Chain A
């Protein structure tokens, strides 16, 4: 019998009951909740007279609808958005779950708040009515998005009915070149496997380049596992993980930490574990990348040109034609010739402190190109506070960026932060779908450093051209 993968180990530790056909009832350690996908679930509980089974394991925070402008204390103007946030306020209170309201400095994007507060720990099962729950896999936790019916199921029973996925290994060997970041890794993997390449799998990311990433970088990588179609992304916990977790408000302390630590150290894939699919990419082959189309698989190195639809096969030919027309691009155009109107730095993919540091590093002493709109939306109130303390906020403000309050913001444009039709955006978020950032808006996905570079030049830019040249030997 072969050994177990990390996914196998976490799965096995959470099976409440297994049916003859293999369907399992899986226990859920942490349930994160936001205002968009939960109102119908709480309503369902009320209608059937059910309670939240484990309110102490349930953490709610409003993020999608909240305004990010400094005047947000005056309330939410859009009535539907306001009702949705008020519904979460009421549901959190009525059902007694942990809650970070808009007025709390700890409020932010649910996938940034969870790890920041120590709710997410290695070896846990974590779910949320949000596909980017995959983020928490960076801790070696089995984390994935669920629909609202499943949100209600978890609220009522603290379990999910699940069939096991297959195991996929994505190995990034060696080291990354200068100017290449976690975002370039995760986009390059999707470019390689396609948006359906991970369907039916849980991905474990491994290899030296992954090991060398900070927790922030690992969260960026796992965050977009869903864009590759995978149910979840995982990275085995190590000293980097344990250091990050230690001392966080809801992480175990003292003897409990030691006990947890000794179990966490067993959370890795055995050498003889079976993989259903393996993808290996050399770290040194990864370039700073951007997306050119309307699917996260439309990834190219910044040094490349817009592809011709005929270079694809099957249904992708029509999809690429549609994408080029939507994006207002011509085949053969150099990516670095594409002019940008707006820059958005933030989201659960790239709204953490390290992301802001990387962008600020490029922006230091520089200005946003005349006529452009640029905004930074920190992932949480605490990220914002830290960035202010480190002087990053001032760099953004001096460069001409708007310095916003925490929320999902223009990643999906449910709040007032939206693109106008035809407006072209360099975005650090996760989806370039048609209309994602506003009807008719055109999104190019990239790393924070690349987005900062585009802000300075006004067009898609190879960040390496703006980086301080290394001293001559």
Chain B
């Protein structure tokens, strides 16, 4: 997995609450058997008009935000299904960070598995970051995972929390499965013990 240390980039404002995974990547694009190439379909129904052309109203179609790498979003971002296609689509588009007051649990987990950083901030901070994002392409936000700080284009700094294990995996670009495989002995013991205590399983 690609390492995540520090990023400076354009932040796109998406203040709508409850942006669900069906909005992020509609089901017709879940039929793929690959992880890659979903970026062009991210936010499909909001991003494209019925004739297939881009909807100029949609934030990521506006010249200032086409290269966005951060989304500042309304409450409960990523609610709905478990589809990892949602972070795959965002990552493929170029989004590395999403900032909101809250995230749906499965989406939040899925981000970390794909080198992306979801950041939970209180409402007043999200409001400030949303305003900063609204300034457009000249206003670049910096996300420093190592020091756990988001810096606005004006230099205002906000600290954020992140689970230490997840941070470690992101910063080092570690693969969970490899780490767990090293614990095969403990899994063997657990299975042997469970075969005694719960043989019907």
Contact = CB atoms under 8 A, between A and B. Distances in A.
Interface stretch (B2-10, B75-83, B138-146): B75-83
A414 B31 contact: yes
A322 B16 CA distance: 9
A37 B85 CA distance: 9
Contacts of A130: 81-82
B111 to A, nearest CB: 9
Interface in A388-440: 412-414, 431, 433-436, 439
A19 interface: yes
Nearest to A323: B18
Nearest to A257: B200
Interface stretch (A79-87, A173-181, A361-369, A373-381): A79-87
Given A153-B177, A431-B22, A434-B23, A196 B79 contact: yes
Interface in A37-74: 37, 39-40, 43-44, 48, 50, 53, 64-65
B173 interface: no
A153 B31 contact: no
A65 to B, nearest CB: 7
Contact of B31 (A27, A81, A315): A81
B165 A231 contact: no
B19 to A, nearest CB: 10
B30 A318 contact: no
A25 B183 contact: yes
Contacts of B136: none
Contacts of B106: 131, 144-147, 226
B92 interface: no
A15 B28 CA distance: 38
A280 interface: no
* Residue of B16, B22, B35, B106 with most partner-chain A CB within 10 A: B106
B17 A316 contact: yes
Contact of B109 (A40, A81, A147, A256): A147
Interface in A136-171: 144-150, 152-153, 156-159, 161, 163, 165
B33 A16 contact: no
A412 B25 CA distance: 13
A358 B138 CA distance: 59
B17 A319 contact: yes
Contacts of A252: 200
Interface in B154-192: 163-165, 176-177, 179-181, 183-184, 186-187, 190-191
A121 B201 contact: yes
Contacts of B26: 435, 439
A435 B45 contact: yes
* Residue of B18, B104, B106, B191 with most partner-chain A CB within 10 A: B18
Interface string B39-50: 000000100000
A336 interface: no
Contacts of B165: 19, 21, 23, 161
Contacts of B27: 412-414, 436
Nearest to A88: B33
A414 B181 contact: no
B52 interface: no
A186 to B, nearest CB: 16
A315 B190 CA distance: 47
B196 to A, nearest CB: 11
A464 to B, nearest CB: 31
A229 interface: yes
A433 B105 contact: no
Nearest to A250: B200
B63 interface: no
Nearest to A151: B84
Interface in A14-44: 16-17, 19, 21, 23, 25, 27, 29, 36-37, 39-40, 43-44
A371 interface: no
* Residue of B20, B74, B79, B82 with most partner-chain A CB within 10 A: B82
B110 interface: yes
Contacts of A153: 176-177, 180
Interface of B: 15-18, 20, 22-23, 26-28, 30-35, 45, 74-76, 79-84, 87, 102-106, 109-110, 113-114, 163-165, 176-177, 179-181, 183-184, 186-187, 190-191, 194, 198-201
By Cβ-Cβ distance, the 8 closest A-B pairs, closest first, are A149-B113, A252-B200, A80-B31, A315-B17, A147-B110, A145-B82, A39-B33, A147-B84
Given A147-B113, A260-B198, 14 more contacts: A83-B33, A123-B198, A130-B81, A147-B82, A147-B84, A149-B110, A149-B176, A153-B177, A196-B18, A196-B76, A199-B105, A316-B17, A414-B30, A431-B81
Interface of A: 13, 16-17, 19, 21, 23, 25, 27, 29, 36-37, 39-40, 43-44, 48, 50, 53, 64-65, 78, 80-81, 83-84, 87, 121, 123-124, 129-131, 133, 144-150, 152-153, 156-159, 161, 163, 165, 195-196, 199-200, 226, 229-231, 252, 256-257, 259-260, 263, 295, 314-316, 318-319, 322, 412-414, 431, 433-436, 439
26 contacts: A21-B163, A23-B163, A25-B186, A36-B83, A37-B83, A50-B181, A78-B31, A145-B106, A147-B106, A150-B109, A156-B177, A157-B180, A159-B180, A199-B103, A315-B15, A315-B17, A315-B75, A318-B17, A413-B27, A431-B81, A433-B22, A433-B80, A434-B22, A435-B26, A435-B45, A439-B45
